[in-house]
Amino acid sequence: MERPAWAPRGIDITVPSVSRIHDYYLGGSHNFEVDREAARQAVGFLPGLPKFVQADRAFTRRAVRWAVGQGVTQFLDIGSGIPTHGNVHETARAADSGARVVLVDHDPVAVAHSRTVLAGDERAGAFTADLRRPREILEHPVTTDVLDLKRPVAVLLVGVLHFVDDADDPYAAVAELVEGLAPGSLLILTHAAFDAVPAGEERVRGAVEVYRSVRAPLVERSREGIARFLDSVELVDPGLVPLPRWRPESDVDDEHPYAFSGFGGVGRAA
């Protein structure tokens, strides 16, 4: 397989990546045939899966614009993925040209492409790190150079927590992140909800196995389990709700059924 110029040396382009699979769902071009094949297998079980990913992205855009409206113009996007159209940086800058954005991901392709997009921008940066080590993220030189952690920051955990197993204690990681933020900071998160997927359990399990086969096991959590991630913040209206129902900008009845296959919410740090 020929390695494209945008693919960093040292990565195995024969192994699928979640961020590149999602890039494919979102109509991006930074993915390989191995990623597209995995995506097609998952969609074979759940035909509306790209609609869920797109709803996740639409929620993110609304939440970022809302945050800017609240006066929060610093963003720390953890699990940022590949910055396809409508990404956090693009949305934040459209709402406030002075917004500061740091993108963090464990996928070197996602980070490499983010750095290309952000090249020469002193109010933005990207680096490789893992959500399970929050202190490293908060203390990373890119974070401290770009963001003023003494002022409110919006931390985004969008479409990432359902890839972190309970054995890795993601609840403690999220609480540690919030603890390191200034009062008035925001936590913006989404999480897939298996029991809300409009398909039978067998088909859901089939898609889960596809992700497991690419070393990205999806973790099933109840709404109550998802809400626990927001225990350290004060939920803002309308609370933790199906993605299209969080401050909708169009008729929710027009949304695809798969768009409701996850919850989204925003909380404010005291």
Q: For residue range 188-238, list pLDDT tens digits in order.
A: 999 999 999 999 999 999 999 999 988 888 999 999 999 999 999 999 999
Residue-wise pLDDT tens digits, 166-186: 999 999 999 999 999 999 999
Instruction: Grade residue 15 by pLDDT with cuts at 50, 70 and 90.
Output: confident
> Domain for residue 121, yes or no?
yes
User: Which residue has tokens 């990623």?
Assistant: 35
* Strand partners for 157: 189
Residue 36 has pLDDT above 80, yes or no: yes
The domain spanning residue 233 has which CATH number?
3.40.50.150
pLDDT of residue 9: 60
Residue 13 has pLDDT above 80, yes or no: no
CB 158 within 8 A of CB 78: no
* Separation CA 239–CA 268 (nearest Å): 11
Name the residue among 159, 189, 184, 152 with its Cα closest to residue 174. 189
Residue-wise pLDDT tens digits, 120-132: 899 999 999 999 9
Instruction: Grade residue 258 by pLDDT with cuts at 50, 70 and 90.
Output: very high
Least confident window among 8-12, 24-28, 147-151, 237-241:
8-12
What tokens appear for 238 in the block? 């309308």
> Domain for residue 8, yes or no?
no
> Does residue 96 sit in helix, strand or coil?
coil
pLDDT of residue 4: 60
pLDDT of residue 8: 59
pLDDT of residue 1: 52
* Residue-number span of the structural domain to which 82 is assigned: 18-268
pLDDT of residue 47: 96
Our count of domains for the chain comes to 1
pLDDT of residue 216: 84
What is the pTM (predicted TM-score) of this model? 0.93
> Domain for residue 1, yes or no?
no
Alpha-carbon distances, residue 148 vs 26, 72, 99 (angstroms) = 31, 12, 12
> Domain for residue 7, yes or no?
no
Residue-wise pLDDT tens digits, 38-92: 999 999 999 999 999 999 999 999 999 999 999 999 999 999 998 877 799 999 9
pLDDT of residue 167: 95
Residue 3 has pLDDT above 70, yes or no: no
Residue 119 has pLDDT above 90, yes or no: no
pLDDT of residue 110: 85
> Domain for residue 10, yes or no?
no
